[in-house]
Structure 1
Amino acid sequence: MDNTPIVYGFDTGTCSSYESIDFPYTEEPVWLLGRQYSVIHQLDELRDDFRSKIWITYRRGFSAIGGTGPTSDYGWGCMLRCGQMVVAQALILKHLGRDWRWTPRSQDDERELSESELLYFRLLNLFLDKKNSPYSIHQIAQMGASEGKPVGQWFGPNTIAQALKKLSMYDHWNNLAVHVALDNVVIINEIKQLCKAEKRNGQHILSPKGNWKSLLLFIPLRLGLTEINPLYFKSLKAIFKFQQSLGIIGGRPNHALYFIGVVENQLLYLDPHTTQPIVDYEEFTSNPLFDDSSYHQETAARMDISQLDPSIALCFYCHTESDFDNWCSLAYNALIDNEKQPLFEISKERPKNWQQATSFSDNTQSLNSLDYDLIPGASNVITLNHHSKEPFTILEDRIVVGNDSDEEFELLG
């Protein structure tokens, strides 16, 4: 039996390549991060929304990570890039809103940058491939290394979520609260404490004004052994209907993708497996006509939901407390109530028999929590590594070679 993933669109390890059939001609609605479209009647609007998402890929030629490390993330950085895309989309929602659309500028466009364009470039700067960008490949890789994940080793959904959680603590401008829900349970009170906390004299305390930090919520899940259980298909497709949806990070073993939409049984995704030259930082900061098209994927790629690897993380963004309350209600009604086997559970408080977590510590985790990363080279084995106090689990080393497995993911008819 041929188990090759059925993929539509493009996927290449060295350069961009597009196919014209980006969306199927169907009467079924397309859901793209909480927005519904008709391919028949709203194709231009759908494409405009898709290409406005920030697309972050492999790059080559950046300064050596850690001074002596790799100068390209080809072959190992796909999940790190997916994590960057999730944070980028969250910050776009926070600062520019869901209706923001990217407008490419021509070289003869002499108008001044608008306020929204200036803000967009400021956000893009957070992800440039230089060591002092808050969410650069350098910062993420070295955060993993500081917790026992060597630079150049593949991350899984839970690992990237934990690394981004730690990095967000140093991002004072965006004031983003990142929470990783472990043990398949979302604890409402813990999240509200996190989002209402402020730092004073080196300690986190509840804000007396009840100010709410915007929430980026990751829910790492393991939905099967070697392949995803079809029981979850309905709920996974419903994720993209939520107005708080940031999609799903996952893919196939050692091949991460960022899923942002669904049509019929096909997932729409942004693919980091294109190796592009590093952006010239001097040009980026000085040229108002900087070509930023390398951060936008023009054409959607699609994959059948049955080919999704069972190791994933659901991603959501809640701008306000009422957004989070609304999400809790929607998630319970659509994903939990009347489901024989829900994707996750929601609890108001941490069960008494669970280890008590320190509300504002990013180092404390439940001893029962699991790392859902697959061991490279052993994708047919489910790996359940019990956490200690270390937020990152050390997996077997992956040796990156010239014929990386990304090369095997070819364009299929």
Structure 2
Amino acid sequence: MDAYWGSLAVFANTDTDHPYLPSIDKPVWILGEEHSALNDQEEIANDIRSRLWFTYRRGFAPIGGEKGPTTDTGWGCMHRCGQMLIGQALVHLHLGREWRWNPDRLDRSYLRILKMFEDKPTAPYSIHKIASKAASDDNKTVSSWLGPNTVAQILKKLSASDRWTNLVVHVTTEDGIVMQEIKSLCRRSASARNSKIAAIDESTCNKDTSPPSPISHDSLHLSAERKNSDRPVIVSSPITVEVDDESVAIILPPVYNMSFPSGDDSSPTSEVFSVLTTTTAASSTWHPLFLVLPLRLGLHEFNMRYAPALQGLFKLRQCVGVIGGRPNHALWLIGSVGDDEVLCLDPHTTQAAAILGEPAPGVSEEAASLDGSFHCTTPLRIPLRRLDPSLAVAFVCRTEADFDDLCAHLLADKLSSSLFEVHETRPRNIPPPSFTSLRTPEEWGELFASSGPAIPASPTPLTSKCKADGDFELV
């Protein structure tokens, strides 16, 4: 399998010095920057070489106990792609998109970012943290393969320990991008943090100066659920659930169509929105947003009708890439070539475990060698049709203006609407965020038993005999 994917890096029409580029001129987009395949080859090479490249490692401390694995070779490819995805977000925020790697001049912020991905249990985004969180939260073995959605959810949880960046990580579900709710999350996290810090400063008896915990997206959802506990809720979007390796259940939830008095604009979704927007509108503090959208672009294989829309995302300056690939062979997609190919960084190279020392002004030979192991000079160029349809695209927005700009481009681009929807506020036919996590008919039954009148019809699962991807989950 690895040999097959490696062979895809070289095509018949390639440049001998840059085999990942075609020998004919094609537009190349890499994370929001445009290049020419013929005229900008060195710029392209420098840009790709400056991305963080996380690969299999060997010889690190055991994961999950003394008998745990000391290498992630063979199972950690999506873990590493998740590291590359959020690593690019950190580079974007702390160094800037224009930053280029210089092995002779290592920036302290750059070294600080690398330390967050060290192969040791205490590093915030280490292979140890990702694998252990997956094992504890999802009943997986430590060495289980993960899908893009699972990795995104784990990164969301791990980001809480990153006090340097203070990211707000939002992973969408079936609702797409709901602008006002996401804005509220970024503002509310900042407001809650500032309020708690002020309370600590004013307290004369509590001397605990540890940094406050940010309010999580889940806690806001619970708050919204309590707000609506005495009102019926519209749940009208079917979802897919993996039944086994051979089939997928399409569950049609019960629909309760609420009628409102003439002139009454109240609704469950508006109440949820009021809960989510309790932060003062004039708040000027915005926490950087890391937005991840899990997608499934096809049933058994990638549907090429989505190709133009997916490639268009690489033209956005907020884009930090896509994680996907093939079953058991994950890749980080960083750009597009022409109309039907993508550039990828491949984690399927095993290197020695990376443990960095404390950042220092000088650059030792050993440090320079280790630093070089985080950068790739041989990316892959792969036809889109070879990709698995299950993937996740991510964006980073340093400011609210960045988020507004991203949404404006997505709304103006008619192609992106085929991938996901963008809404100013939550449409009334889309479940509030506190209910979009429901995955089984039993959960819907419990919801309606407690929050609304009895629904005579039970949710109906429709089973489709389609090949379910056991390693890249259906989303």
Does the TM-score normalized on the shorter chain lie above 0.5? yes
Instruction: Assess, with a 3 A threshold, how the Cα gap between structure 1 residues 382 and 35 changes in structure 2: closer, same or farther.
Output: same
Quick check: 1:332 aligned with 2:411? yes
Q: Check the 8 A contact 1:5/1:307 in 2, yes or no.
A: no
Instruction: Give the C-alpha shift of residue 318 in structure 1.
Output: 1.1
The letter of the residue matching 1:8 is: L
Alpha-carbon separation, structure 1, partners of 2:214 and 2:402: 27
Task: Give the match for residue 70 of structure 1.
Answer: 69
Aligned to 2:438: 367
Cα distance, 1:150 vs structure 2: 2.5
Q: In the alignment, which of 417, 421, 425 is matched to residue 345 of structure 1?
A: 421
Instruction: Please name the residue that 1:239 is paired with.
Output: 313
Aligned residue for 1:235, secondary structure, equals: helix
Q: Which residue identity does 1:281 align to in structure 2? A: L
Which aligned pairs between 1:14-413 and structure 2 lie closer than 5 A? 20-68=18-66, 69-105=68-104, 117-148=107-138, 149-183=140-174, 185-197=176-188, 198=190, 199=193, 200-201=195-196, 204=215, 206=279, 209-264=283-338, 265-282=340-357, 288-289=363-364, 290-291=367-368, 292-336=371-415, 342-357=418-433, 365-367=436-438, 381-382=467-468
Check the 8 A contact 1:187/1:349 in 2, yes or no.
yes
Runs of 5+ in structure 1 lacking a partner?
A: 11-17, 106-112, 359-363, 370-378, 385-392, 395-413
Contact preservation (8 Å) 2:75, 2:143:
yes
Using the TM superposition, name which of 121-130 and 272-281 deviates more: 272-281
The alignment covers a number of residue pairs equal to 352
Does structure 2 conserve the Cα–Cα contact (< 8 Å) formed by 1:190 and 1:349? yes
Separation in structure 1 between the aligned mates of residue 314 and residue 214 of structure 2, nearest angstrom: 37
Question: What residue number does 1:401 align with?
Answer: none
Query: Aligned pair in 2 of structure 1 residues 83, 203: CA closer, same or farther (>3 Å)?
Result: closer
Shift in Å, 1:296: 0.2
Contact 2:49–2:375 (8 Å) recurs in 1: yes
The structure with the largest helix share of the pair is 2
- Name the CA shift for 1:146/1:24 in 2 (closer, same or farther; >3 Å): same
Q: 1:19 Cα deviation (Å)?
A: 8.3
How big is the shift at 1:284? 7.3
Q: Please, what TM-score do these two structures have when normalized by structure 1? A: 0.78
Change (3 A) 1:272 1:184: farther
CA distance in 2, matches of 1:60, 1:352: 51
1:139 is matched by which residue type in structure 2?
Answer: K
> Could you tell me the percent identity over the aligned residues?
43
Structure 1 pair 307–5 and aligned structure 2 pair: CA distance change class (3 A)? farther
1:353 Cα deviation after fit? 4.6
Match of 1:269, SS state, is: strand
- CA drift at 1:56: 0.3
**What SS does the aligned partner of 1:366 have?**
coil
Shift of the alpha carbon at 1:159?
Answer: 0.2
C-alpha change, 1:325 and 1:20, in structure 2 (3 Å) is closer
Q: Which residue identity lines up with residue 21 of structure 1 in the other structure?
A: P
CA positional deviation for 1:283: 8.1
The CA distance in 1 between the partners of 2:57 and 2:362, in whole Å, is 21
Report the aligned-residue RMSD: 2.9
Name whichever of 50-59 and 343-352 sits farther off.
343-352
Q: Name the amino acid aligned to 1:32.
A: I
Alpha-carbon displacement from aligned partner over 1:77-118 (angstroms, at most 9, x marks no partner): 11110010011100111011111000123xxxxxxx56xx11
**Structure 2 unaligned blocks of 5 or more:** 11-15, 197-212, 216-277, 441-464
Give the CA deviation at 1:349. 2.4
Identify the range of structure 1 (157-166 vs 34-43) with the bigger mean alpha-carbon deviation.
Answer: 34-43
CA contact (8 A) 1:83 1:164 kept: yes
Report what 2:265 is aligned to: none
The one-letter code matched in structure 2 to 1:323 is D
TM superposition shift of 1:145: 1.6
CA drift at 1:39: 2.2
